[in-house]
Amino acid sequence: AQRVTQPEKLLSVFKGAPVELKCNYSYSGSPELFWYVQYSRQRLQLLLRHISRESIKGFTADLNKGETSFHLKKPFAQEEDSAMYYCALSGFGTYKYIFGTGTRLKVLA
Partner 1 sequence: DAGVIQSPRHEVTEMGQEVTLRCKPISGHNSLFWYRQTMMRGLELLIYFNNNVPIDDSGMPEDRFSAKMPNASFSTLKIQPSEPRDSAVYFCASSLPNSGRDTIYFGEGSWLTVV
Phi-psi category of 79—alpha, beta or left, where left has phi over 0 and alpha has psi -120 to 50? Answer: alpha
- Whose Cβ is closer to partner 1: residue 12's or residue 94's? 94
Give the total of residues touching partner 1 (CB under 8 A): 25
* 106 lies in the binding site for partner 1 (CB under 8 A): no
Select from 53, 49, 56, 52 the least CA-distant residue to 83: 56
CB of 101 to partner 1, least distance (A): 4
Task: Return the percent helix, strand and coil in the chain, to nearest 5.
Answer: 5, 50, 50
Q: For residues 51 and 12, what is the distance between their CA atoms, to the nearest angstrom?
A: 28
Nearest alpha carbon to residue 104 among 14, 39, 15: 39
Binding mask 14-53 for partner 1 (x = CB under 8 A): ------------------x-x-x-----xxxxx--x-x--
Binding region for partner 1 (CB under 8 A) out of 17-25, 59-67, 73-81, 97-105: 97-105
Q: Is 1 in the site for partner 1 (CB under 8 A)?
A: no
Is the Cβ of residue 12 or residue 45 nearer to partner 1 in the bound state? 45
